[in-house]
Amino acid sequence: MINLALIGAGRIGKLHAANIVHRVREASLTVVADAFLNEEMERWARNLGIPKITTNVEEVFTEASVDAVLICSPSPTHEDYIIKAARHGKHIFCEKPIGSDIAKIRQALQVVEESKVKLQVGFVRRFDHNHKRVHDAVRKGEIGEPYLVKITSRDPQLPSMEYLKSSGGIFFDMTIHDFDMARYLAGSDVEEVFAYATVCIDPAIGEFGDFDTAITTMRFKNGMLGVIDNCRQAPYGYDQRTEVHGSKGCVMVENDRPNTAMVCTASGTYGEKFLWFFTERYREAFVAELQAFIESLKNDTEPPVTGLDGLKAVLIAQAADASAREGRPVKVAEA
């Protein structure tokens, strides 16, 4: 068994913990650490049967029985925790984004390389059955020579203002997934972006310098073009669609629904709403990404989503943010 420790018992940490305990093969969650541990978190961890629960995150790195660490703490802590885990010889699964400070991210990746530990970044959408089918169709040449990637990504409702104030902004918190998906589908790095962003949903978001709606256009190094449209609020449900167009056709996926039945009568046609949020849409993908991490540790192979993938997504996010604020195209190399 691979012994895992979890740092951060918030929403995403709890999701990963439950999957490890109930669904991920050949892994055991032995430590949960959260600097802000409260009674509810402790009760939750004990109900999962976690042997060690602590407010001292440092204990995760020094615990001899721990083979790998899952970093699910707030984003500003990621680089430091990656460095500490690597220096203590622990393999690392880090939720997105890998960080926000480019110099510190590069330092963390250097420490990971020197320590000869593995690092996987939590871009869960790569493991979704729909998006993977688009990726595979492109790689197999089913649509000929690809030339355009289109991604729609809209959340069903605004997060809390408290969350948004510390999220890092729409490009780093939300679109970061789409930047990685764009690279994944195109099979190429992004060379240049031009982003428009505004506040359409709640003026309060603009008061602390963020946006809730954005369009990002991209030029890839292999000559392809791309476009991503984001919005923090889609009242009809979680809207996650991808498509790639090529010389022989296109491949696209729609949103998942509880079922695809359509009821047609004289008064109209209707069916099930889209799944409501990412915890439903990517339920199986979250399990698959952790299983892939465990397999990379067992087989001593490179994780499917590396620290370099995490860095490249942040570089694109920085370029997009600069573009939206300065009203000009920005090369990713400038970030």
List the CATH number of the domain containing 39: 3.40.50.720
- Over residues 57-76, mean pLDDT: 95
Same domain, 155 and 16: no
> Helices in the chain by DSSP H: which ranges?
11-22, 39-47, 58-62, 78-87, 102-115, 129-139, 161-165, 170-173, 175-186, 203-207, 278-281, 283-299, 307-326
- pTM above threshold 0.85: yes
CA atoms of 173 and 96, how far apart (whole Å): 8
Per the structure, the complete domain to which residue 40 belongs is given by: 2-117
Residue 305 lies in a domain: no
CA atoms of 60 and 63, how far apart (whole Å): 5
Same domain, 62 and 146: no
Calculate the average pLDDT of the chain: 95
Same domain, 27 and 94: yes
Enter the tokens of residue 283.
């339920």
Same domain, 249 and 139: yes
Confidence band for 279, pLDDT divided at 50, 70 and 90 = confident
Which stretch of DSSP H or E encloses residue 52?
strand 52-54
Same domain, 108 and 193: no
Give the bridge partners for 194, in sequence order: 217
Helices and strands (H, E) in the chain, number of each type:
13, 15
Confidence band for 199, pLDDT divided at 50, 70 and 90 = very high
Residue 39 near residue 55, CB atoms below 8 Å: no
In whole angstroms, how far apart are CA 266 and each of 261, 271, 273? 17, 15, 20
pLDDT tens readout for residues 87-144: 999 999 999 999 989 999 999 999 999 999 999 999 999 999 999 999 999 999 999 9
**Residue 274: is its pLDDT beyond 90?**
no
Residue 102 lies in a domain: yes
List the CATH number of the domain containing 180: 3.30.360.10
Residue 291 lies in a domain: no
Q: Which of 117, 146, 161 is the last residue of a domain?
A: 117
Q: Which of 53, 82, 117 is the last residue of a domain?
A: 117
Residue 97 lies in a domain: yes
pLDDT tens readout for residues 23-66: 998 999 999 999 999 999 999 999 999 999 999 999 999 999 99
Greater confidence (174 vs 274) lies with: 174
Same domain, 181 and 75: no
Same domain, 6 and 134: no
208 φ, ψ (degrees, to nearest 5): -110, 25
Number of domains comprising the chain: 2
Residue 293 lies in a domain: no
Look at residue 280 in the predicted model and tell me its pLDDT.
Answer: 87
Which stretch of DSSP H or E encloses residue 233?
none
**Direct distance between the N- and C-terminal alpha carbons of the chain, in angstroms, rounded to an integer:** 41
